[in-house]
Amino acid sequence: MNAVSLKAPGRFLAVIMCVATAVCGSTAAMAHAVAEGDKGYIQEIAGIHLLPFVYLGAKHMVTGYDHILFLLGVVFFLYRAKHVALYVSLFAIGHSTTMLLGVYFHVGINSYLIDAIIGLSVVYKALDNLGAYQRLFDFQPNTKVATLVFGFFHGFGLSTKIIEYDISPDGLVPNLLAFNVGVEIGQLLALTAILIAMGFWRRTVGFWRHAYTANVVIMTAGFVLIGYQLTGYFVSKG
Helix runs in the chain, H state only: 7-25, 36-44, 50-63, 65-75, 81-104, 111-129, 132-137, 143-164, 172-202, 207-237
Q: Residue 182 above 70 pLDDT?
A: yes
Q: Using one digit for the tens of pLDDT, what is the confidence trace for 67-77?
A: 899 999 999 99
Q: Are 124 and 74 in contact (CB under 8 A)?
A: no
The percent of residues above 70 in pLDDT, for the chain, comes to 84
Q: Are 139 and 127 in contact (CB under 8 A)?
A: no
Average the pLDDT over each of 37-41, 131-135, 167-171, 232-236 and give the range with the smallest value. Answer: 37-41
Q: Residue 19 above 80 pLDDT?
A: no
Closest CA to 28 of 41, 38, 15: 38
Q: Indicate the average pLDDT of the chain.
A: 87
Banded model confidence at residue 3, pLDDT cuts 50, 70, 90:
very low
The percent of residues above 90 in pLDDT, for the chain, comes to 67
Q: Residue 9 above 70 pLDDT?
A: no
Q: What is the pLDDT of residue 4?
A: 37
Q: Using one digit for the tens of pLDDT, what is the confidence trace for 95-143?
A: 999 999 999 998 878 999 999 999 999 999 999 999 999 999 999 999 9
CB atoms within 10 A of CB 189: 13
3-state secondary structure 103-169: HHCCCCCCHHHHHHHHHHHHHHHHHHHCCHHHHHHCCCCCHHHHHHHHHHHHHHHHHHHHHHCCCCC
Closest CA to 129 of 56, 229, 37, 222: 222
Q: What's the average model confidence in pLDDT over 23-34?
A: 51
Q: Using one digit for the tens of pLDDT, what is the confidence trace for 39-86?
A: 777 878 889 999 999 999 999 888 888 889 999 999 999 999 999 999
Domain ranges, ordered by start, for the chain: 49-237
DSSP state for residue 33 in the 8-state scheme: P
